[in-house]
A and B are shown apart, each in its own frame.
Chain A
Amino acid sequence: MKEITFEDFSKLEGGFLLTKAKELAHWLIKKGRSKSLWPLTFATSCCGIEMMSFGASKTDPDRAGILFIADSPRYADAIFVSGTITKKMANRLLVLYNQMPNPKYVIAVGACTISGGLYHHSYSVLLGIDKILPVDVYIHGCPPRPEQFLEAGLKLQELIKNDKIERYKGYI
């Protein structure tokens, strides 16, 4: 079964009214995607404990629409990769990423996922996840504070609303 998207709709060409209607639909869907971002609950090690504190009541991400309700990858929009990714875990992470439906965004949390971090001379750690996944926002810190998570979430919302993510330009 093919993907059921609005791709065929976006290939139509026409006059003034149809172009304006396409622009209105595009603006509405971009606004909707940016105001409600549902990340997958995935945590491996120490940055996962700070992600739990991020989801709790002091920095409340539900104010901005970020709700941790997605337990299965089919429901999720984004993935906060937090914790060290070893070579054994890397292909499970890729399987999870492939099960998420389009459009999907990736945020790399902590020093271990940017470049290997503290374990840069270890034999079993993947040195940075941008070797296997396309990353949109990086968060620095070891571990970062919960307020930095919220800032990264808001920055991703801004990028989505202004259509600055390369692989989803013009995607309805």
Chain B
Amino acid sequence: MSIFDIIYKYILSNGFGYLSLPISIILTLIIALIITALVPLFVSGWIERKVAARIQSRRGPIFAGKFGLLQNLFDAIKMLGKEIIRNENADKLFLLPSILYGTVVLLLFLIVPLGNKNLAILNVSDNLLLTFILFSYLGLIAILGGIFSGNKFASISAYREGVKTFAFEGIVLLSIFMIGYRSSFSFQNINSVNIIYYPLIAISFLIGIISMIDRGPLDVTNAEQELIGGWRIEYSGLVYGLPLLGDYSLAFIASMIFSILFLGGAGSGILSFIIFWIKTFIIFFILILLRWLYPRPRIDQLINFSWKYIFPLTILNAIIIWMI
């Protein structure tokens, strides 16, 4: 059961006949676009700005709408009205990586269950592997963006992204296989509280996912004071806004996935709906704290850390549970 199924049954039972399939596809896409736009503008963007402001002993936006809820919306409207400038050395396709980024975020919102087992927008089997493939696409998009831009700083950032992929993707893949082998490879069937059996794998999954979505203290390739934005350095206007809002959404999606895999999955019923969102917001709060309270390690220290400390812990946990 998924949202698409609910809409299709409702429209079919109202007697539209042959037209009910296209109509339900269009309605589902509209709902998906609304959710993809709503979450970074009103939910996760607002929370992140206000909590970061309170850590730095100031208040966040308070004049745009009540409690500053409309501030990110005004940012998006302003970005719609700016010019898009192309460099002479840039490739003809230089806007493509940014549009692909937005598409990946939309696809992720289509398959992750939003609170309840029956509330995913599309019900796809083997959700977990598809999610991992989409996350590793983000690294590829960053490399393409760096090479197409025609700017020296963007090329340096593309090389660093290629090296960074080597650091954490293998560990995240290993963690996903452990969980999938034990419970199931699809989000709708994971029911056990896996953090009791796999505590070390939970920690390494969290650190790996922070590094794969280019966030927080592990964003060696973009948004650093040194490389002024990395592969996004030549974008302006709406093509800059898409990765920026995508960053806010990806953190939220990562905390949803963590709370499904390790803290008890998405059940059915109203009580588990409320508890699922409470768990997600707690993990999201932890991600915000990690971003604003820690400095950034260097790229070779990151690779050192991941292969010498995190990887053995993961293997250790897997072997212990396999023997018990």
Contact = CB atoms under 8 A, between A and B. Distances in A.
Q: Do A and B bind each other?
A: yes
A3 B85 CA distance: 7
A4 B83 CA distance: 6
A57 B58 contact: yes
A103 B81 CA distance: 8
Q: Which of A33, A57, A62 has the most CB of B within 10 A?
A: A62
A125 B117 CA distance: 68
A36 B82 contact: no
Interface of A is mostly: loop
A112 to B, nearest CB: 26
B240 A75 contact: yes
B74 interface: yes
Contacts of B84: 3-4, 101
A172 to B, nearest CB: 7
Q: Which of A65, A75, A172 has the most CB of B within 10 A?
A: A75
Given A62-B53, A71-B228, A74-B236, A36 B81 contact: no
Interface in B40-81: 49, 53, 56-64, 71, 73-78, 80-81
A102 B237 CA distance: 10
Nearest to A75: B240
**Range, interface on chain A:** 20 to 34
Interface residues of B, number: 34
B301 interface: no
A6 to B, nearest CB: 7
Interface of B is mostly: loop
Given A28-B77, A172-B81, A62 B58 contact: yes
Contact of B78 (A5, A60, A71, A77): A77
Given A36-B71, A65-B74, A101 B61 contact: no
B59 A60 contact: yes
Nearest to B49: A62
A32 B82 CA distance: 12
A151 to B, nearest CB: 15
Contacts of B71: 35-36, 65
B89 interface: no
Given A32-B77, A32-B81, A74 B60 contact: no
Given A57-B57, A62-B53, A72-B229, A1 B86 contact: yes
Given A3-B83, A101-B82, A31 B57 contact: no
Interface of B: 49, 53, 56-64, 71, 73-78, 80-86, 225, 228-229, 233-237, 240
28 contacts: A1-B86, A3-B83, A3-B84, A5-B81, A5-B83, A6-B81, A28-B77, A31-B74, A32-B73, A32-B74, A32-B75, A32-B77, A32-B78, A33-B77, A33-B78, A60-B53, A63-B59, A63-B63, A65-B75, A74-B236, A74-B240, A75-B229, A75-B240, A77-B78, A77-B82, A99-B85, A101-B236, A101-B237
Interface of A: 1, 3-6, 28-29, 31-33, 35-36, 57, 60, 62-65, 71-72, 74-75, 77, 99, 101-103, 172
The 4 closest A-B pairs by CB, nearest first: A32-B77, A57-B58, A74-B236, A101-B83
